[in-house]
Structure 1
Amino acid sequence: MDLLQALILAIIEGITEYLPVSSTGHMIFASSYFGIEKEAFTKLFQVSIQFGAILAVVVLYWRKFFDFTKFQFFLKLGFAVIPALILGKLFDEKIETVLEHPTPIAIVLIIGGIILLVVDRFFTNPTIHKEEDITFKKAITIGFWQCLAMMPGTSRSAASIIGGMQQGLTRQAAAEFSFFLAVPTMLAVTCYSTFIKTYEDTQMKGYELILKSSENTKMFIIGNVVAFIVAVLAIKFFIEIIKKYGFKPWGWYRIIAGFLLLVYFNFLK
């Protein structure tokens, strides 16, 4: 992977992480197009630059994250992230196997798009407008919904937002809780991939891959900075779109993108 490819992947991560379109799916397609999808550093990079996207939420909602008097807020996130931590560890190897095959991910993109086209029809009477009204039971339930995103192409954002709406949250409240929940979820995944996981091709830990060369270190730093800046803009954009138009624009995007990617990887590549 070179610096230009790293920049493109970081921009994709920043744009798509908080949109219901699957950031992982988009980065896999991009890395497959570049022919770098099997490289150990590429696999690490795609996960580690989520740290920049995490910081975007913390900065935009800093009053929420740095108000330590609201202990229940942090407790809710802690309980909600538990299902993803357990299931993620159990299915880590199977998930990584799927990541190397673009076709099933494209199909999941299309299926998810169809669901987004109709989801607004099912949750028309929301009763929860802010995070303070979310119970611990509802938070944990949303956490289980988030686990659907372990299938690449599903979208963590889409799964947790739909889960929030199923639990009675408004679209905006569900989106914002999805943002909040992303912080411990992605932080855990990033730390695991960087400090604990051993990459089979090299038998090295993630941080060893980052420090292996000055080029790797530079790409890691620049990737996180770019992902942070782009994610800040994407979050603001998404909130406005979802308030005005719901999920239909993202549904059509997923369907069109999924079909184009199916054609490319099965007939043109």
Structure 2
Amino acid sequence: MGNTFDAVILGLIEGLTEFIPVSSTGHLLLAGHFLGFESPGRTFEVVVQLGAVLAILTVYAAKLWQVVSTVRTDPAAARFVFSVLLAFLPAMVIGAALHDFIKAVLFETPVLVAVMLIVGGVILLFVDRFAPAATHEDAMQLPFRKALAIGFFQCLALVPGVSRSGATIVGARMIGVGRRASAEFSFFLSMPTMAAAFAFDLWKSRHILDFAGLGNIVIGFVLAFVSGVLVVRWLLDFVSRHGFVLFGWWRIIVGSLALALLLLGF
């Protein structure tokens, strides 16, 4: 397990990047590589992800309670819950089937992560400028077919560096969902997706989890939670006004720098 400085940096990276379309996994893998950070059984990465899960649940607690408490009596609430679960289904099935390959091969290929950051950045810039006119501006009223389509786009994020939020937002924009609604539906979809990913990673890694560096794990978890809350509260208003250009250029710059360092042997 790395030192406290590593835990602070990686915890902040997880919280700051989980819900914006820049790939938190890609940033964590690259930062861990360059810091020389090693976590037996990836215990640190598994636990700090829980901090981000709790962040989104905290921010949307009131809205979630409203939906859950009325799901039996309000057709609109029931329909929204079904649309989110429908969108979650493709990643659940494909992610479970490819889990071992993704963790053993793709997660150990930093060059792939850097390239995916660059490619994803270019795509994000293109889609933000040339996406079709929005026909849906309410994340809670998307047609089922569009929710499912967004779910299939989310499967692209199984490749580290693609970004779960990036894939779902780009997919939503391409099928006529507005900027704010795309980001908000991505938030809602992240809840079952991240919770399932955390539970599945925890179960698959249960025999090799190592909590020897518990203090650093707690630091990373708390920072991921706090920074995640701040990002979620800020993001919707930002993208409504400015779109996703900032995140596209951020991906290109970070990916290019990382690729250059990797090719130089760092």
After TM superposition, the score normalised by the length of structure 2 is: 0.90
Match of 1:234 in 2: 231
CA distance in 1, matches of 2:208, 2:82: 31
Shift of 1:27: 0.4
CA distance in 2, matches of 1:225, 1:100: 26
Q: Does residue 267 of structure 1 match 2:234?
A: no
> Is the 1:22–1:152 Cα contact (8 Å) retained in structure 2?
yes
Q: Could you tell me which amino acid in structure 1 is paired with residue 225 of structure 2?
A: F
Match of 1:36 in 2: 37
Q: Which moved more, 1:152-161 or 1:85-94?
A: 85-94
Q: Could you tell me which amino acid in structure 2 is paired with residue 226 of structure 1?
A: L
Q: Does residue 83 of structure 1 match 2:90?
A: yes
Q: Does residue 102 of structure 1 match 2:110?
A: yes
Shift of 1:179: 0.6
> Is the 1:119–1:247 Cα contact (8 Å) retained in structure 2?
no
Q: Which moved more, 1:159-168 or 1:23-32?
A: 159-168
CA distance in 1, matches of 2:255, 2:4: 27
Match of 2:219 in 1: 222
CA distance in 2, matches of 1:254, 1:131: 25
> Is the 1:165–1:174 Cα contact (8 Å) retained in structure 2?
yes
Match of 2:73 in 1: none
Structure 1, residues 53-112: CA drift from partner, whole Å, max 9, x if none? 122222222222111212333222222111111111111122111111211110111111
Match of 2:136 in 1: 128
Q: Could you tell me which amino acid in structure 1 is paired with residue 123 of structure 2?
A: I
Q: Could you tell me which amino acid in structure 1 is paired with residue 163 of structure 2?
A: S
Q: Could you tell me which amino acid in structure 1 is paired with residue 150 of structure 2?
A: I
Q: Which moved more, 1:128-137 or 1:12-21?
A: 128-137
Identity %: 39
CA distance in 2, matches of 1:263, 1:132: 42
SS at match of 1:226: helix
Structure 1, residues 123-152: CA drift from partner, whole Å, max 9, x if none? 241111112321222211111110000111
Structural RMSD (CA): 1.7
Match of 1:247 in 2: 244
Size of the aligned set, in residue pairs, is 256
SS at match of 1:36: coil
CA distance in 2, matches of 1:115, 1:235: 23
CA distance in 1, matches of 2:111, 2:140: 41
SS at match of 2:177: coil
